[in-house]
Chain A
Amino acid sequence: MTSQSVTTAAAASSGPSRQTIFVGILLVLALAAPFAVYPVFLMKGLCFALFAAAFNLMLGYVGLLSFGHAMFFGWSAYITAHAAKEWGLTPEIAILLGTFCAAGLGAVVGWLAIRRQGIYFAMITLALAQLMYFVALQAPFTHGEDGIQGVPRGHLFGLIDLSDTMNMYYFVLAVFVLAILFLYRVVHSPFGQVLKAIRDNEPRAISLGYQVHRYKLIAFIISAGLSGMAGSVKSLVFQLASLADVHWHASGEVVLMTLLGGVGTIFGPTAGAYLVVTIQNYFASAGSWVTIIQGFIFVVCVLAFRAGIVGVFAPWLKKRGIEA
């Protein structure tokens, strides 16, 4: 621990730290990417990456597996789509509205679900998500099977036209980077340390006087809110909010992305999200093969690859002063 902090300190004194360089390279790649890759694909990946990163806050840092995160993702998509289309709100306000509604829903769901732990927590969140799925199916404003179609992307702050794909991409990227920075800050704050303490030894954390329920609930609300932000942005990117985003399949996919990329890492969920989205695009026309392949990846990850892609490289990078 001491030797490591000395090396980081030394690295910091001799110019930018390796962490800064590593993140800088990733950022340059992300800025240049739309010139090489189809931007809508990149945006889809960013939305799911943010969704997975928000989910990872619960699984990776509190140790609670939520199997119902699609309700935050899908419902905020509906709210943003409705606000932008029917009320004519500007995109940033519509996204904030979706985010806050998801956080509010997260407060209620979290308040109920943290009464139980482990697999019960997973089953309760799944059941509540199914409840919200039925509500979405029956509520008139969601337009049932059709979803809310033709959502206008609008003008950011009333100035920047988001119907231009490049403008939209850099907007989505900015939202993503800000959200990841926020999550990084949360995880490395004293609050985040308490979360990890709860994950590793809950009775100990209780005996030290922490109100663990309160910490879990706040983490759940943050996670739900950011999942909602991802859903809101996605509804503007695809100009569509549909039942697919509230279905339990979406809840399962976000678990898969996080597991595949690396639970409890900063960049793992992003890697996992891009891989899963690539598979979806590649096999989109091949019927149920996407489901079969996803199930297969689940099995392989659980049996033989529990660290995930980024998790495998994380120790190697850490020795070199980089937190992945």
Chain B
Amino acid sequence: MMTLFGIPTAALFGQLLLGLINGAFYAMLSLGLALIFGLLNIINFSHGAQYMMGAFVAWLGLTYLGANYWVALALAPVIVAAFGIVLERTMLSRLYKLDHLYGLLLTFGLALIIEGFFRQLYGISGMPYAVPKELAGGWNLGFMYLPIYRAWVVFASLVLCVGTWLLIEKTKLGAYLRAATENPALVQAFGINVPVMITLTYGFGVALAAFAGVLAAPIYSVNPLMGSNLIIVVFAVVVIGGMGSIMGSIVTGFMLGILEGLTKVVYPEAAGTVIFMVMVIVLLIKPAGLFGKGA
């Protein structure tokens, strides 16, 4: 058996891959959180629940309508985003003039309702979701076995993250968005419909979460609680990265996922807590976050 630093390479690279996949989810979710926070000044606590809804829509579609994975990947984000837009129009939009904490509390309440609802209907044991046949199997790379689906998740999330970054940094629409983040009143004075932009941004952030949920469905079982445990880690990721920059969220997400994977190899007991430890260190050294500006 090949070893590297006294650790079998298969185990090392296996955990690195798992870390990379976790990192992909951290990146997609913290990206959505940062987008929503930038324009709405709200921390979307129901982000985890919306990620879980994405996975559930895929599972329900497959089970009851026979909609395959690719259909789910295209439609689930749209369906969940539509749900998110309804929430934004009917509830969140009433809170923009109040303290930001109310947005956090409202979305926390919504997360409890959504999670409780799915738990009541489907229990907590979790439902398996088969890997689509196009992506089944794996490649033997010599030093490790690489399941194709896992490679696909890393690839798809990278494309999504870079695509979002390009959309925001390089297009006219993105320029409007960045301007509205800086000064919504001024942008509105230029004749741009900021309220519609806010609604669509929330929808897009939610769609990112739901897309991540569909990607996650074949890896983790589809479970009502899959989002709530993840979202707390993502909050720590957001604190570490700071929400000032899109690329910052993406890089921080992947980096921390890989770090978590490495910890699993070196000292498994700390794997669940390493990201929180990093958060503590970052708070001590650079309280505004690695890519953050101001407090």
Contact = CB atoms under 8 A, between A and B. Distances in A.
Question: Are A and B interaction partners?
Answer: yes
Interface of A: 65, 112-113, 115-120, 122-124, 126-128, 130-131, 134-135, 137-138, 248, 252, 255, 259, 287-292, 294-299, 301-303, 306
Interface in B88-104: 91, 94-95, 100-102, 104
Contact of B109 (A127, A135, A297): A297
A199 B239 CA distance: 23
Interface in B26-64: 37, 43
Given A127-B233, A128-B280, A301-B109, 6 more contacts: A119-B43, A124-B283, A134-B272, A289-B116, A292-B116, A303-B94
A252 B114 CA distance: 15
B102 A302 contact: yes
A138 B110 CA distance: 31
B109 A298 contact: yes
B30 to A, nearest CB: 11
Contact of B105 (A123, A134, A292, A302): A302
B178 interface: no
A238 to B, nearest CB: 24
B246 to A, nearest CB: 18
| List of 8 A-B pairs having minimum Cβ-Cβ separation, nearest first | A298-B109, A295-B112, A291-B116, A295-B113, A292-B116, A131-B276, A127-B236, A115-B287
B109 A292 contact: no
Given A295-B110, A298-B108, A112 B284 contact: yes
Nearest to B33: A123
B235 A123 contact: yes
B284 A287 contact: no
Contacts of B238: 123
Contact of B239 (A127, A248, A290, A301): A127
Interface of B: 37, 43, 91, 94-95, 100-102, 104-106, 108-117, 119-120, 228, 232-233, 235-236, 238-239, 269, 272-273, 276-277, 279-280, 283-284, 287, 295
A203 to B, nearest CB: 12
15 contacts: A115-B283, A119-B100, A119-B101, A122-B104, A124-B239, A127-B276, A128-B280, A130-B236, A130-B276, A138-B269, A288-B119, A288-B120, A291-B112, A298-B108, A301-B105
Contacts of A306: 102
A252 B119 contact: no
A123 B43 contact: yes
A112 B109 contact: no
B100 A252 contact: no
Chain A interface SS verdict (over half): helix
A299 B232 contact: no
A53 to B, nearest CB: 19
Contacts of A123: 43, 235-236, 238-239
Given A122-B101, A248-B232, A299 B106 contact: yes
A35 B117 CA distance: 38
Contacts of B109: 294-299, 301-302
A131 to B, nearest CB: 4
Nearest to A294: B112
Contact of B283 (A116, A117, A118): A116
Contacts of B232: 126-127, 130, 248
A302 B106 contact: yes
A302 B100 CA distance: 11
Nearest to A129: B232
Contact of A291 (B119, B239, B284): B119
A175 to B, nearest CB: 29
A303 B106 contact: yes
A215 B104 CA distance: 25
Given A120-B239, A299-B110, A127 B279 contact: yes
Contacts of A291: 112-113, 115-116, 119
A65 B104 contact: yes
Given A119-B100, A134-B272, A292-B116, A126 B235 contact: yes
A119 B279 CA distance: 15
A119 B104 contact: yes
A290 B119 CA distance: 11
B248 to A, nearest CB: 15
Given A252-B112, A299-B109, A65 B235 contact: no
Nearest to B41: A119
B180 to A, nearest CB: 19
A45 to B, nearest CB: 21
A295 B91 contact: no
A299 B235 contact: no
Contact of B91 (A112, A124, A287, A303): A303
B279 A124 contact: yes
A288 B235 CA distance: 25
B100 to A, nearest CB: 5
A126 to B, nearest CB: 6
Contacts of A122: 43, 101, 104
